[in-house]
């Protein structure tokens, strides 16, 4: 099973503050090969231990909630570390223009249930993190969704075959786009499997 962040992994704020800029540069380099666009407005950011370690530290550094905050942050972010038989991604709709963002998200209710990863003819449907409902009662989608792609052993082997095409798609009627996973992203994500 993949490693989880524990309280022992948390640096004191002063220690983290001293290396914060360096860690930001490091994580930017890591994330460069862990993201892919799907259509004009959506991006998948594939998470791992490093991305979540920094996220936990950033939350603690910014909010300064002390020891009491640590458990909450670990509970929130540990589920986003792949367990060795899955890929985990943050799906973000990144639209700068406020009116267009509001209009699009207002039409995307349930979008988190329409994301798939395809290996040849085989489809792996994303499972949304169920921490909170990401679609309002009015059908408006959140701009951020947390997704798990569960793999079988055979699917992991296929994912790691260099000639296997990997497609990620959003199949929502109001946002239907797909993209081929770039080779550098596949190579980075291969390390998420045991």
Give me the phi and psi of 170, to 5 degrees please: -110, 120
In a domain, 133, yes or no: yes
CA distance 171 to 176: 5
CA distance 141 to 104: 9
Domain count, the chain: 1
In a domain, 11, yes or no: yes
pLDDT at residue 129, as a whole number: 87
CA distances from 56 to 10, 77, 164, 190 (A): 8, 7, 35, 24
Of 47, 45, 38, the C-alpha closest to 168 is: 38
Q: Has residue 109 got a pLDDT over 50?
A: yes
In a domain, 123, yes or no: yes
The 10s digit of each residue's pLDDT in 59-76 is 999 999 888 899 999 999
In a domain, 2, yes or no: no
Mean pLDDT score, 19-28: 95
List the domain range (segments joined by +) for residue 48.
7-190
In a domain, 64, yes or no: yes
In a domain, 1, yes or no: no
CA distance 99 to 69: 35
pLDDT at residue 166, as a whole number: 97
This prediction has a pTM of 0.92
CA distance 48 to 82: 6
Q: What is the overall mean pLDDT for the chain? A: 93
Q: Has residue 1 got a pLDDT over 50?
A: no
Residue 132's pLDDT band, with cuts at 50, 70 and 90, is low
pLDDT at residue 57, as a whole number: 97
In a domain, 36, yes or no: yes
Q: What percent of the chain has pLDDT over 70?
A: 96
Q: Has residue 191 got a pLDDT over 60?
A: yes
The 10s digit of each residue's pLDDT in 112-128 is 999 999 998 899 999 99
Three-class secondary structure assignment of 86-117: EEEEEEEECCCCHHHHHHHHCCCCCHHHCEEE
In a domain, 60, yes or no: yes
CA distance 102 to 93: 11
Q: Has residue 137 got a pLDDT over 70?
A: no
């Amino acid at each position: 099973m993949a490693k989880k962040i524990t309280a022992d992994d948390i640096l004191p704020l002063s220690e983290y503050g001293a290396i914060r800029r360096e860690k930001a540069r490091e994580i930017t380099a890591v994330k460069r090969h862990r993201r892919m666009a799907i259509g004009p407005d959506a991006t998948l950011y594939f998470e791992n231990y490093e991305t979540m370690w920094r996220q936990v530290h950033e939350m603690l550094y910014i909010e300064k909630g002390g020891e009491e905050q640590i458990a909450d942050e670990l509970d929130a972010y540990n589920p986003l570390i792949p367990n060795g038989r899955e890929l985990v991604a943050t799906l973000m709709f990144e639209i700068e223009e406020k009116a267009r963002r509001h209009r699009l998200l207002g039409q995307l209710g349930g979008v988190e249930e329409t994301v798939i990863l395809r290996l040849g003819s085989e489809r792996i449907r994303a499972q949304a993190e169920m921490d909170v409902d990401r679609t309002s009662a009015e059908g408006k989608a959140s701009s951020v969704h947390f997704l798990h792609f569960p793999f079988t052993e055979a699917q992991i082997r296929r994912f790691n075959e260099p000639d296997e095409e990997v497609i990620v798609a959003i199949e929502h009627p109001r946002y239907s786009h797909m993209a081929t996973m770039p080779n550098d992203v596949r190579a980075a994500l291969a390390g998420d499997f045991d």
